[in-house]
Amino acid sequence: MLAPTGDEIKDKNFFDVTGLSLLENRYRLSKEISGGKSSTGFFGIDEKTGEEVFVKFCIFPRSELECARFRNEASFLKERAFSNRIMKKTPEYLASGELFQGKILYLITEKINGLLLLDWFREKFQGASLQERLKVAYRVFGAAEHFSTFVTHRDLHPGNVILLDEEVDLYSDRPDFKAIILDWGQSYSRAEFEYSENESDDMVTIHNGNGREITNSFYNLPPETFIDWDNSGAEYNKYDSWAMGLLLYKLVTGKDLFSFRNIGEYSAAQNEIEQVIESGLLEVSKHAGKQAPILSRLIERLLRKNPEQRMFIQEARHALWFVLVEDFMPLDIGMIERTLDDPNYFDEVKWKHFKVEHFSD
């Protein structure tokens, strides 16, 4: 199939002209939605099942890196099929492919019905109690936590998380967090890169592109954006912890910790970012009451400039569970620090629900 010319699509619907309104003889586009920096999104219908779908296009990609990221998202979601049957954290992959000799790439997933976290802030934040807001953080942390060991999302922000309208059992040994992480187009796997066999592999292309351009959400960029990627290591599985620290801060205070007008401001701020964070944590005390001491230190642990010292999302989610379920609100800073050093094995408190042996098997 040859790509249509400019004259062929002038004054006509591009997707009708190209035949993209119906993909794989079953997925029909119905409504265009806002796209990302390099993609266009649509809601649609699977005419075979009647189910709603989401279709994402990369049209006339500008580089091989853009193609690699798009294909990588499709591969990642396809590989999630088995684990999603155990605990659903990503949309279900349906199909993907290329048209017009790679000039157009497409990815089709199920449409997730829920409330975008960005909309939750607009619609429900003001009326939510601190406990309700911390529960949202707990759910998002839980949805993101298991990926960080192998895959970093690298673009976690409220526009890429959907909260399902379902109750979450905080007392389950295997909780389902009822939150779905969207848009894996910026994701990266260090392990997959290490095991890549040739230079043309998509993950090699993505690895080589990291640090050379910024295409993900500007606000959530951690300080290691400006380090030497070729000599880096431990920051890969702590990358998304930074975004979770910013999210927790906003859920507690209702404010964004940073406000940068451009990349120059962001870069210059790295010299004093630790002071900005420490100053910002004073806001937590104004909004969190007795929970302020532990929440302040938890946010600080997630926002450490040195990624090797940063907290894992898994551990932060567990610490939030102590606050939510065990009513853990210590005032002793030493106890707080020891708790956050290793919440999975902290046994200085007689817990009402938590048993350390659950995490030591």
Domains 16-110 and 115-203+216-359 share a fold: no
**Length of the chain as a residue count:** 361
What stretches in the chain show pLDDT beneath 50? 5-12, 234, 358-361
Per-residue pLDDT of 181-236, as tens digits, reads 999 999 988 888 888 878 779 999 998 887 676 766 677 888 887 766 555 554 56
Q: What is the pTM of this model?
A: 0.91
Q: Which helix (H) or strand (E) holds 188?
A: none
The phi and psi torsions of 30 (rounded to 5 degrees) equal -130, -35
Domain extents for the chain? 16-110, 115-203+216-359
Query: Which of these, 282, 271, 274, lies nearest to 242 by C-alpha position?
Result: 274
Report the first-to-last Cα separation within the chain, whole angstroms. Answer: 56
Per-residue pLDDT of 244-282, as tens digits, reads 999 999 999 999 998 777 778 888 888 888 998 999 999
Average pLDDT, the chain: 88
Domain 115-203+216-359 has what CATH class? mainly alpha
CA distance 114 to 111: 10
Residue 149 confidence (pLDDT): 61
User: What DSSP line would sit under 261-318, residue for residue?
Assistant: SSHHHHHHHGGGHHHHHHHHTHHHHHHHGGGHHHHHHHHHHHT-SSGGGSPPHHHHHH
Q: Look at residue 142 and give its three-state secondary structure.
A: helix
CATH-assigned architecture of domain 16-110: 2-Layer Sandwich (3.30)
